[in-house]
Structures are given as structure tokens and as C-alpha cells.
Amino acid sequence: MRKPFVAGNWKMNKTGEEARLLVAELLPELQSITAVERAVCPPFPYLVSLSNMLAGTGIGLGAQNMHWEASGAFTGEVAPKMVAEFCQYVILGHSERRAYFFETDETVNKKVKAALAVGLTPILCVGETLAENEAGRTAEVVTRQTRLGLEGLTPEQAARVVIAYEPVWAIGTGRAATSEQAQAVHAGVVRPVLRELFGEPVAQAIRIQYGGSVNAKNAAELFSMPDIDGALVGGASLKAPDFIAIVKAAAARG
Ligand code: PEP
């Protein structure tokens, strides 16, 4: 049985004070829901103070990006060890990073390896654009991103990765994939690639989150699917009641 994992991607939102308030609101409800792995991924400047708030609560902390190099002349970048000092997770290859900051499968792969090397759990995002979806290229694109993102990993390393299938057309649009659409990609595209690369036991162990307009209303239906192992939540993770409801829906997964 894969433990469901729900992570909130706050993107570039919240003041420091708002970030601490949100965590303070989440803590009483989320601390006891141990059947679900749960984490928040705030902007970099809030990682230090939130790691103090979250210490010992069982709720994880993640960054939204990092560089793959250990140190050096990379102005504006953050190194893997710097993230690992405060976080357990790092989101890598988010479609916004790929689209606006020109990340490629190759650089995402370097980041995945660098994250694993410092003990972070990478959340590797894959997903097709609307144009790719409409052209019937979903399987091709998701296969390529998964394969290249995980290239060179041993099965033991791969087992520590979380995949987030995030169709770009569903992110921030209010138009989530249906549970059937997401299940079809998770079970029919991503898991077979994992099986081919790393063997059946590892393919079965890796969590595949769905991301893209997950909210308090549609979460239970999505989580009812056998290969939807949780969610990467954007907009709805900014409101405590919504994020709590999504985590509860994952806990109720039957
Ligand atoms: C995301 O950006 O990872 C995401 C899933 O966003 P939203 O939930 O707002 O669609």
C-alpha cells in the first residue's frame, strides 16, 4: 500500500506573516492525520521560520526549486544542501519552471540527482500542455519527461522519488482532469515507464500525485482511483480549510 501524499505548492504567494498564520491554522488539524504524508512548499524566504514551526509536528516542508550545483558563482540560486538544511522535499520540473525559466528534462534530471544526494525527496512534475493534449501527445510527452527526469537513477534512488502528474491545461484553470483521465495517465503511462526502468516492486512503491485544480470538492473523487496517490495542490493550498479538506479526503481513501 502506498501512503497518500498531499503537498501544497504555495508558489510566489503570501507575506511572511500570512505564511506563519496559514501554518498555525493548518497545524491543529493536520498533525493528527498521520495516515497521509503532508507537506507545505512555501517561497524560499519563509523556509527557516516555518521549519521551526513545523519541527516535531510530522508535517513536512518543501522548496519549490533549487540548483543542482553544490556551491559557487550562481547568483540568485539556492544549493541542494541549503534546502536540505530546512526541508525534506523539493518540487522539481514544475511546468511553470519549464515554461518561464526554461528548465529542460536534462536540468531537471540533474536536480533530481542532486536532491537525492543530499537526502531530499524530489517531487518530479511531469505533464502535457493543452496543445500537446489536443494533438494526442499526452503519453509521448509524459513518457519522455518521466524517463529523462529519472535517467541514471538506481532502483533504490528511484524508490525515493515522488512523481506529480500535472497536466498544464489543468493548473490554475479550475478545470481539473477527471479522475478517469488522471488514473489513465498514472496507471497507463507513468507506472509502466517506472516498471520498465526500475522493475515492478519499485514501480508499485513510487507515489504518483495528481496536480491541477485539485480542490476540496473534487479531491475525494480523484483519490478514489487506485493509482492517484495524493495531490500536489496549488491554489487550494493557500486556504487552510481547503487544504485540510483535501488531506482529509486522502485519509479517507478507501
Ligand atoms: C500546481 O501549480 O502545482 C497546481 C497544481 O496548481 P493548482 O492546484 O492551482 O492548479
Residue 94 a catalytic site member? yes
Contacts of 121 (CB under 8 A, 6+ apart): 62, 88, 89, 90, 115, 160, 161, 162
Which of 163, 166, 169, 209 has most ligand 1 atoms within 8 Å of CB, for mutation? 166
Ligand 1 pocket, residue 115 CB under 6 Å: no
Predicted pLDDT of residue 253: 84
Q: How many CA atoms lie within 13 A of 38 on its CB side?
A: 25
pLDDT at 254: 54
The three cell numbers locating residue 174: 479550475
Q: What is the pLDDT of residue 85?
A: 98
Which residue CA neighbors atom 1 of ligand 1 most closely? 234
Which one from 94, 103, 128, 186 is the annotated catalytic residue? 94
* Nearest atom within ligand 1 for CA of residue 174: 10
Return the pLDDT at 249: 98
CA 242 to chain centre: 17
Mean pLDDT of successive 10-residue stretches along the chain, which has 254 residues = 97 98 98 97 98 98 98 98 98 98 98 98 98 98 98 98 98 97 98 98 98 98 98 98 98 82
| 67 counts as catalytic | no
* Cα–ligand 1 centroid distance for 108 (angstroms): 19
What is the DSSP code (8-state) at residue 155? H
Distance (Å, rounded) from C-alpha 244 to C-alpha 237? 8
Ligand 1, atom 8: closest residue by C-alpha = 234
- The per-residue DSSP string of 26-62 comes to HHHHHTT-TTSEEEEE--GGGHHHHHHHHTTSS-EEE
Look at residue 1 in the predicted model and tell me its pLDDT.
85
Domains of the chain plus CATH, in order, are 5-227+247-251 (3.20.20.70)
